[in-house]
Amino acid sequence: MNKRIYSLAGVAVLAASLALTGCGARTDAGTGGGTATKVAKIGVIAPLSGDLSAMGLGIKNSVDLAIKQANASNAIPGWKLELAAEDDQATPDVGKNAATKLASDDQVIGVVGTLNSGVAQSTIPVLDAAHIAQVSPANTNPALTKGADYTTAPARPNANYFRTCTTDDVQGPFAAQYLLGAGIKKVATVHDKTPYGQGLVTEFTKAFTAGGGTVVDAETINPDDDNFSAVISKVKAAGPDAVYYGGVYAEAGPLAKQMKGAGLSVPLMGGDGIYDGNFMKLGGNDGDLATSVGAPVETLSSAKAFLDGYKAAAYADGYSAYGAYAYDAANAIIAALKTSLASASDAKSAREGTITALASVSFDGATGKVGFDKYGDSVARVLTVYKVVDGKWVAEKTGELK
Amino acid sequence: MRTVIPDQLKVQLRYPARAVGLAGAAAMVASVFLPWSYGHEALDDVGFTGLPSPLQFVFLILPIAILALLGIPLVGKAKLGRWAKIVAWNTTAKTASLGALATVVVALAAIAIELGGLVNIETGGWLALVGAILAAAATVFLPDSPEPTLSRVKSPRWLQITAIVVVMAIVLFGSAYALGMDDAGAFLTLAALLVGIILTLRQFGVFGWLGIASANNNRVLVMSAFVVAFAFPFTQNGSNANMSIAAQVLIFAATALGLNIVVGLVGLLDLGYIAFLGAGAFTAAVLSDSAFATINFHPPFIVTVLIAGTVSSLLGLMIGAPTLRVSGDYLAIVTLAFGEIFRISMLNLDGSDGPNITHGSAGIPGIPDLNLFGFDFGQAHIIAGIEIGRFANYFWLMLLVMALIILVFTNINHSRIGRGWVAIREDEMAAEAMGVNTFALKLLAFAGGAFLAGIAGAIKAHHDVSVTPEQYVFLESAFLLAAVVLGGMGTVSGVLIGAVILKVLPEKLRFFSDYRLLLFGLLMILMMRFRPEGIIADERRQLEFHDDDEELADEIEEELITHHAHLNPERKGFEL
Amino acid sequence: MELFFQQLINGLSLGALYALVAVGYTVVYGIVQLINFAHGEIFMIGAFGAYATWVLMGSPSDWTATTSLLVLLPMMIIGGMVASVATALATERFAYRPLRGAPRLAPLISAIGVSVFLQELVRLFFGKIPGMPDAKSSVPFPDIAGISGATITLGGVIIQMPAIFTLAALAVSTVFLWYFVNRTKTGRAMVATSQDPDTARLMGINVDRVIMAAFAVGAALAAIAGVAHGLMNGNIGFRMGFLAGLKAFTAAVLGGIGNINGAVVGGLVLGLAEAMASNYLGTTAWKDVWAFVLLILVLVFRPQGLLGAKVVDRA
């Protein structure tokens, strides 16, 4: 009698093992077709879901646009470029998994991302170990390119890391110069305790005090909190002529509105994080200021290609704050690939060459001049100050940071 | 499962139903040799004729099982003998059929979505669907069989051990196979299939039998589980993609096990547990050789781990001592507040709002890889011709830590302290009246759990390379709690399963990630409503949640008795 | 000194907001001994309900102060109440009632689930309702003529109208609550149930209805707080309930949980403590830390709260 259960168990085990051994043979047969052109993938690591997904999707779509344009113009003969987008949910852990996944895909040759500096800290080492270039459209933490002692002894920690956005030590000082030039000598600073906001305020403060201004009060807010009355009262008591805010529009708008409500009618100035139409919807007032990288988009012919292409591609989401930088980042990688892939047999062997080639890339992109210095930072020094006039951002002054 | 079909009708229809069921199963078997989809991109390429995909091969198990379950009883009751009662033939066939139907539906839906429309489903797919519907409909009309008694069948020890080893081997290769899937549709189909197979096996009585087998061979079970986990990196062929996830799962699971002592054993709800992990991580980070470390003291890692654990447990004492005297509800909120205090403090210790210890929101990046006794965790090593990468090194280290935690957990659980904890959980006042020092025991659990989290955090800091405050937010505490609740409070295996589900599913179902938290919230509500004891229930715990359910109480009691019957040879059991 | 009075006003208005939310924690806890972790989300949904009402009325932006105050604002508050009360009753019915009698961990964990679920529901689906804006990031709250942006200056101290609205709302609500608890049948049934649910049941009180009434009262006040939040801060968002809920719970414990007057006093004290701490104890970045340290200190030295709790430990 017991023979039967053995044979039954035997059948089950056999079936299972059959299924498992079956894996190998078949998959080879399936992919053995072979393709005429070789494939190289450009990865994207950005928050594609969650609170920050609007910006993440803008980055993804802009990279997609750059890849499509490159394929259409056959920018790299013999090669077809593909997009490999991974969600990082704006968390370092998930970002690291995404980077590991991309690194173990032999066709991935470069990555555009991340949005958050905190996530970049986790992805850069993983991609560096695999010799994959990472070009960020949005990380502003100076330490990413210049190391822990970026003010006193800058040293580049990872050779694979570049960025197309400007760091805080360009935007902050530019804002300081503008305010000093407008005759404003007393400023209060507020930031949201994110690497972006804190970095901006730190660099702004340095340049502003060096230029002869005084920071009369320095405050911080908690982005989870919507009520800034305690902070505003303190700022108001210090009597500044302007408030410099380090952070993004989501808090800057309400802050501007509450400032006005509390009777503090001085302009609020911020970085590219508040240069967004939503700033006015959430309470930004006429006279508020923002700095952004590059000359105004309308005046740049290279930017028009991006804007028109993006409109024509009809993506569901807007390109958002960092789309243009992401477009430039992808095009920088593509420009490097023209050199590195020219004689390469497969994508993996060209990874190292891509990093070398990226260092000497130079062209006019959607945000202005694209190129990298010896730390991997953007060489762009042209910035524009925008002012809110009748509820719209209007270019106030374009200049180069000296 | 109850049906509304009258028993009389079932008896009348039993022969035609059986025939239809067999035909349906045969159709499903035939279908895998026909193409299911028009294109080759769907699932793991199910568009071939005569050559089933791996997924279709695994799928074959169900129809073959249905054929066997419906076919074998045809030899007649006399020939079946005792086996007529040992196996629940009809009911198992019904479970298998429903599982097959669910799998086919998921697979066809995935094909339709991935390739864009139902037109992409080919003959094989439709045949499988028709077969599955026939089999499911037919088996519903079969008379229900009595509960299987396979678990009471006595079996020799070598068979039990072999069975455990086979199960573990299937787990090893199965998880490697499942993790290797890139296609979300294929992954979901496999998930549906596995649930179907597992339910079928359960209905067959295999788990009851395995439960007794593993209780008899507990050491073999634990050892083989560890061997399997240890062997996992060798199945990855040097690829890091899955090892990175696996190492994270272990860190998460180790932390959840620490939380399980606090929540599962003692019944103290800690909503800020992630802060202890963070305290360990930050301690290890500032003491590491990172260029961003702010304390100029870099002890060897062994010392750092102990310091990290101690710092965490001191924080645990600081927060536990005042709050553990008052009711448990307060503790939940105070720990939640503590989690916020921790996060905000880490943000503020940045040099402008306080002394510079953590660099504020930028955190401490560039933490070097571990190097223990000359073994560099950052380097890949070649073992037996297979490359073992960085993440696999950390995976093994976490495995060791996990073994330690499980050892502590199970030993304490069965000690005087553990019994004291459970007594506190069930009725604190009664426990106190019986002379249990409730305050000291609660404090011990709280500080001990924090210590374990601190150790896990220290390793996490090196594994992650950078430590930032935004990694340690309330939602992470909620996820840890969910792992404990989902898997089963107070059990080790349950928490492991909970951790795997919560970490692996989001990675594999990334297209779903925007709805991840919504589902997470819903899952917590539904779990509390319908299965508060978790997937793997602690028996005592199960009774606690269903104290009005006498049937369940009897069932558990009966299980315990049969269990003992096996352990005591004098009691009469079935002979094989 | 001017700054001191300014912060006093800031603290009182913030505290009034906390107090309105804290009442919801305290009435529910007093009756079912449940920390309704999702109450912060009820507050958030109240604000979104008021916003939706404003959109349904045609997004009026040019109404005069009188019509705004007499028609628009009351309509918005009622709309917010409908949304929050309906949500609160639904969560009570589907997430908490089935768990009555289960070990105390169960409803608390369920409440965490409800909290996450409601946040995500608003984030993902508010924008899908026709006419409503996307709620994935903050939504600007409408300006109400006569309140938004209007101020009164008292000896150099600027008092904003939204702050006055919040304090007035708290005062009216407290009177209403006093009347409801002491003078109405349902209110007295609530008191009886909180003191001894079994005896209350024997006396013919429908305990289920009393519990629903407790949830409804708390939700209605939370909706008022939601409107006040929108007016004071100018924007609302799906995450606004988390921190506010945590603070309001702290306020409830501070005053003595289960004690309605305690919640009001606790809220005001907490708001004042926060405003003063941001001025006089280190930088503003630490103010939330001080609020929670206050919670721990109260638990150590006076677990029954400032005014004494109805229930300290019945577990």
The secondary structure of B303-318 as a DSSP string is HHHHHHHHHHHHHHHH
pLDDT at B538: 64
Domain of residue A183 covers 168-296+384-400
From residue B230, alpha-carbon distances to B226, B235, B448, B456 in Å are 6, 10, 27, 18
Q: What is the mean pLDDT of chain A?
A: 83
SS3 string of B362-402?
A: HCECCCCCCEECCEECCCCEEECCEEECHHHHHHHHHHHHH
What is the maximum span of chain C, computed from C-alpha positions, in angstroms?
60
Of the two residues A149 and A79, the one the predictor is more confident about is A79
Of the two residues A304 and B560, the one the predictor is more confident about is A304
Q: What is the mean pLDDT of residues A315-320?
A: 82
Q: Is the pLDDT of residue C310 over 60?
A: no
Q: Answer whether B45 sits within 8 Å of A30, measured CB to CB.
A: yes
Query: Do C275 and C10 touch, CB atoms closer than 8 A?
Result: yes
- Disruptive mutation site among C17, C137, C280, C286 for chain A (greatest number of A CBs within 10 Å): C137
Candidates C17, C136, C279; nearest CB to A51 = C136
Q: Answer whether C137 sits within 8 Å of A51, measured CB to CB.
A: yes
Asked if the structure places residue A203 within a domain, the reply is yes
- The 10 Å CB-count burial string (b at 16+, else e) for B326-356 is bbbbbbbbbbbbbbbbbbbbbbbbbebbbee
* Residues of chain C neighbouring A53 (CB-CB closer than 8 A): 136
Q: Rounded distance, CA B492 to CA B500, Å?
A: 13
From residue C311, alpha-carbon distances to C69, C257, C259, C303, C314 in Å are 40, 7, 9, 10, 6
Indicate the pairing of strand C151-154 with strand C157-160.
antiparallel
Candidates B263, B481, B529; nearest CB to C98 = B529
Tokens (6 digits) for B359: 């660099």
Residue C250 forms contact with B (CB below 8 Å): yes
Residue B521 forms contact with C (CB below 8 Å): yes
Asked if the structure places residue A31 within a domain, the reply is no
Q: Which residue has the tokens 């760091």?
A: A167
One domain, residues A253 and A177: yes
One domain, residues A159 and A195: no
pLDDT at B541: 59
- Disruptive mutation site among C138, C165, C238 for chain A (greatest number of A CBs within 10 Å): C138
A253: distance to nearest CA of chain C, Å? 9
* Residues of chain C neighbouring A234 (CB-CB closer than 8 A): 3, 278-279, 284
pLDDT digits (tens, 9 = 90+) for B78-94: 777 777 677 777 778 88
pLDDT at B4: 64
Of the two residues B550 and B215, the one the predictor is more confident about is B215
Asked if the structure places residue A376 within a domain, the reply is no
Residue B327 forms contact with C (CB below 8 Å): yes
pLDDT at B280: 93
Give the ipTM.
Answer: 0.90
Q: Is the pLDDT of residue A18 over 50?
A: no
CA-nearest residue to C8 within chain A is A230
Residue B529 forms contact with C (CB below 8 Å): yes
Of the two residues C144 and B182, the one the predictor is more confident about is C144
Residue B337 forms contact with C (CB below 8 Å): yes
B241: distance to nearest CA of chain A, Å? 5
Q: Answer whether C275 sits within 8 Å of A230, measured CB to CB.
A: yes
Query: Do A23 and B33 touch, CB atoms closer than 8 A?
Result: no
Asked if the structure places residue A33 within a domain, the reply is no
* Residues of chain A neighbouring B85 (CB-CB closer than 8 A): none
pLDDT at B559: 58
Number of domains in chain A: 2
One domain, residues A118 and A204: no
Q: Answer whether B518 sits within 8 Å of C117, measured CB to CB.
A: yes
Q: Answer whether C110 sits within 8 Å of B524, measured CB to CB.
A: yes
Which other chains touch chain C, taking contact as 3+ CB pairs less than 8 Å apart?
A: A, B
Tokens (6 digits) for C37: 């972790």
Q: What is the mean pLDDT of chain B?
A: 79
Minimal CA–CA distance to B262: which of B40, B67, B424? Answer: B424
Residues whose CB is less than 8 angstroms from the CB of residue A316 and which lie 6 or more positions away in sequence, other chains included: A57
Domain ranges in chain C?
A: 23-241
Q: Answer whether B524 sits within 8 Å of C116, measured CB to CB.
A: yes
Q: Is the pLDDT of residue B250 over 60?
A: yes
Please list the residues that pair with A128 across neighbouring strands. Answer: none
Q: Rounded distance, CA A348 to CA A342, Å?
A: 13
pLDDT at A75: 85
Is the peptide bond between A114 and the residue preceding it cis, with omega within 30 degrees of 0? yes
Q: What is the mean pLDDT of residues B225-236?
A: 80
One domain, residues A184 and A233: yes
One domain, residues A177 and A231: yes
One domain, residues A394 and A261: yes
Of the two residues C86 and A29, the one the predictor is more confident about is C86
CA-nearest residue to C103 within chain B is B545
Q: Is A216 exposed, middle or buried (0-12, 13-18, 19+ CB in 10 A)?
A: middle
Give the CA angle between residues C248, C254, C260 to the nearest 5°: 75
For chains B and C, CB pairs below 8 A equal 143
Q: Is the pLDDT of residue B274 over 80?
A: yes
pLDDT digits (tens, 9 = 90+) for A248-261: 888 899 999 999 88
Q: Answer whether B51 sits within 8 Å of A29, measured CB to CB.
A: yes
Please list the residues that pair with C158 across neighbouring strands. Answer: C153
Candidates A50, A122, A222; nearest CB to B464 = A122
pLDDT at A15: 46
* Residues of chain A neighbouring B350 (CB-CB closer than 8 A): 193, 198
pLDDT at B414: 81
Q: Is the pLDDT of residue B546 over 70?
A: no
Q: Answer whether C303 sits within 8 Å of B478, measured CB to CB.
A: no
pLDDT digits (tens, 9 = 90+) for B172-198: 777 777 777 777 777 888 888 888 888
Say which CATH number the domain at A187 has. Answer: 3.40.50.2300
Of the two residues A2 and A312, the one the predictor is more confident about is A312
One domain, residues A176 and A241: yes
* Residues of chain C neighbouring B514 (CB-CB closer than 8 A): 124
pTM here is 0.84
Tokens (6 digits) for C22: 């804290």
C73: distance to nearest CA of chain B, Å? 32
Q: Where are the beta strands (DSSP E) in A247-321?
A: 268-270, 289-293
Minimal CA–CA distance to B107: which of B51, B36, B177? Answer: B36
Residue C4 forms contact with B (CB below 8 Å): no
A162: distance to nearest CA of chain B, Å? 17
A195: distance to nearest CA of chain B, Å? 5
Q: Answer whether B328 sits within 8 Å of C282, measured CB to CB.
A: no
Which other chains touch chain B, taking contact as 3+ CB pairs less than 8 Å apart?
A: A, C
Tokens (6 digits) for B475: 């939602």
Q: Is the pLDDT of residue C223 over 60?
A: yes
pLDDT at C121: 93
Query: Do B396 and B372 touch, CB atoms closer than 8 A?
Result: no
Residues whose CB is less than 8 angstroms from the CB of residue B498 and which lie 6 or more positions away in sequence, other chains included: B256, B482, B483, B484, B485, B486, B487, B488, B534, B535
B444: distance to nearest CA of chain A, Å? 31
pLDDT digits (tens, 9 = 90+) for B454-495: 999 999 998 888 888 888 888 888 888 888 888 888 788 888
CA-nearest residue to B338 within chain C is C292
What single-letter DSSP state applies at residue B99?
H
Give the model's confidence band at A23: pLDDT under 50 very low, under 70 low, under 90 confident, else very high: very low
Lowest mean pLDDT among A397-401, C75-79, C210-214: A397-401
Asked if the structure places residue A348 within a domain, the reply is yes
Residue C57 forms contact with B (CB below 8 Å): no
SS3 string of C95-149?
A: HHHHHCCCCCHHHHHHHHHHHHHHHHHHHHHHHHCCCCCCCCCCEECCCCCCCCC
Give the model's confidence band at C122: pLDDT under 50 very low, under 70 low, under 90 confident, else very high: very high
pLDDT at B551: 60
pLDDT digits (tens, 9 = 90+) for C176-218: 999 998 899 999 998 888 888 888 889 889 989 999 999 999 9
CA-nearest residue to A239 within chain C is C3
Of the two residues A379 and B535, the one the predictor is more confident about is A379
CA-nearest residue to A50 within chain B is B514
Tokens (6 digits) for B411: 């030993």
| Dihedral angle sign, alpha carbons of residues B127, B129, B135, B137 | negative
pLDDT above 70 coverage of chain A, percent: 90
One domain, residues A42 and A157: yes
From residue B62, alpha-carbon distances to A157, B159, B189, B417, C129 in Å are 55, 24, 13, 47, 44
Query: Do C42 and C222 touch, CB atoms closer than 8 A?
Result: yes
Query: Do B98 and B23 touch, CB atoms closer than 8 A?
Result: no
Highest mean pLDDT pick, A17-26, A98-107, B345-354:
A98-107
Q: Rounded distance, CA B261 to CA B254, Å?
A: 11
**Between helices B301-323 and B438-464, what is the axis angle to 10°?**
140
* Residues of chain C neighbouring B520 (CB-CB closer than 8 A): 113, 116
Q: Is the pLDDT of residue B378 over 50?
A: yes
B536: distance to nearest CA of chain C, Å? 16
Provide the total of helices (H) and of strands (E) in chain B, helices listed first: 24, 4
Q: What is the mean pLDDT of residues B437-442?
A: 87
Q: Is the pLDDT of residue B138 over 90?
A: no
Q: Is C271 exposed, middle or buried (0-12, 13-18, 19+ CB in 10 A)?
A: buried
Asked if the structure places residue A110 within a domain, the reply is yes
pLDDT at C93: 92
One domain, residues A43 and A161: yes
pLDDT digits (tens, 9 = 90+) for A199-230: 889 889 999 999 999 999 998 888 778 889 88
Q: Where are the beta strands (DSSP E) in B227-364?
A: none
